[in-house]
Amino acid sequence: MSARAAPGQPCSRERAPGEPGAYTVYPSRDFPKGPPSRYMLLDEANWMGRQNMAIEVAAARRLFTREEYHRMAEVGILKPADRVELIRGEIVEMSPIGRRHYAFVNNLSHLLIMGLAGRAIVAVQGPIVLADDTEPEPDLAVIRRRLPPYKDREAHTEDAFLLIEVAESSLAYDRSTKLRLYAAAGIPEYWVVDCVAESIGVYRTPHPDGYRDVARVAGPTARVVLQAFPDVALALTEIFA
C-alpha cells in the first residue's frame, strides 16, 4: 500500500525517485480530499457503458406523425389489407373482425343512418384526427355535415358527435386506452358495445383523465339515446339482433 501524503502534497509509492515502477499522483480539484475510496477498472467502466447504451437503445421507440404514417401507405410499406391505426405515434394493429362484431356494426350503422338522415353523417371504420400523431379508426362515428367537405379535409375532433367501438376481443383496450384517448381529445360522447354481454357502455362529459358521466345500458327493453340527437333512441334488441 502507498503512504498517504500531507494535504496538498503529491502522493507517491514507497519507492525512491527514478526507481522502476515509481510514479506520482497529484490531487485533483474534483477531489480536494484525495481520490475517492471507490474505484472502477477501465474494463469495468467500458462494460457498464456498453450495457447502459444497450438498455437505452432497446428502450428507444420510433414514433411517427400522421404525415409519415400516410406516406408509408402511399409507398406500400403499409398494405391496404393491414388493419392498423396510429395511436400516439405508434402503429397499432387492430383486432380481427369476428362474426358478431361484423353483425353489430352493420346493425348500428343501419339504425343510425335511418335516424340521422340529412342531419349527420355516419362513418363506418374510417379515420378521425385527434392530434398530429394520433389517428384512430373507430368502428362508427357520427360526424357533422360541414364545409369544406371531407374529401378536402379529414374528420377531426370538433366534427364528432359520437364515436363507437364495437368490442369482442378488444373490450379491455377500448375501455381503457381508447376511452382515455377520446376523453383527452374532447370527444363529447363515446360508446363501447360489448359483443359478449350485449350491453353498451355510454360515456359523456370528457375530462383529461376519462369521462365524468358513465352509464351501462343493458336488457331486452333498453334503449340507448344519442346525446346530440335525443330524439334518436336505438333499441338494444335491434342492435344485437
- The grid cell for 24 is 506520482
- Are 114 and 195 within one domain? yes
How confident is the model over 81-86, as a mean pLDDT? 95
pLDDT at 105 over 80: yes
pLDDT at 191 over 70: yes
Structural domain contains residue 216: yes
- Are 137 and 216 within one domain? yes
pTM of this structure: 0.75
Please give the pLDDT value at position 52: 55
- Are 159 and 234 within one domain? yes
The CB-side HSE value for 201 (13 A sphere, CA atoms) comes to 21
Structural domain contains residue 206: yes
CATH of the domain at 213: 3.90.1570.10
Q: Which of 120, 117, 200 is nearest to 166 (CA)?
A: 200
Structural domain contains residue 4: no
Please give the pLDDT value at position 61: 81
Lowest average pLDDT, out of 19-23, 154-158, 164-168, 176-180, goes to 19-23
Pairwise pLDDT comparison (106 vs 9), residue with the higher score: 106
Task: Give Cα 5 to chain centroid, integer Å.
Answer: 60
Structural domain contains residue 85: no
Segments in 77-220 forming alpha helices (H): 99-116, 171-175, 177-185
The total domain count for the chain is: 2
- Are 141 and 189 within one domain? yes
How confident is the model over 187-214, as a mean pLDDT? 97
Structural domain contains residue 6: no
Pairwise pLDDT comparison (35 vs 145), residue with the higher score: 145
Burial code (b: 16+ CB inside 10 Å, e: under 16) for 44-61 equals eeeeeeeeeeeeeeeeee
Average pLDDT along the chain: 84
- Are 232 and 127 within one domain? yes
**Residue range 106-145, pLDDT digits in tens:** 999 999 999 999 999 999 999 999 999 999 999 999 999 9
- Are 122 and 180 within one domain? yes
pLDDT at 220 over 70: yes
Decide: 132 and 65 in contact? Cβ < 8 Å.
yes
Q: Which structural domain range is residue 192 located in?
A: 97-239
How confident is the model over 32-51, as a mean pLDDT? 44
- Are 103 and 213 within one domain? yes
- Are 111 and 228 within one domain? yes
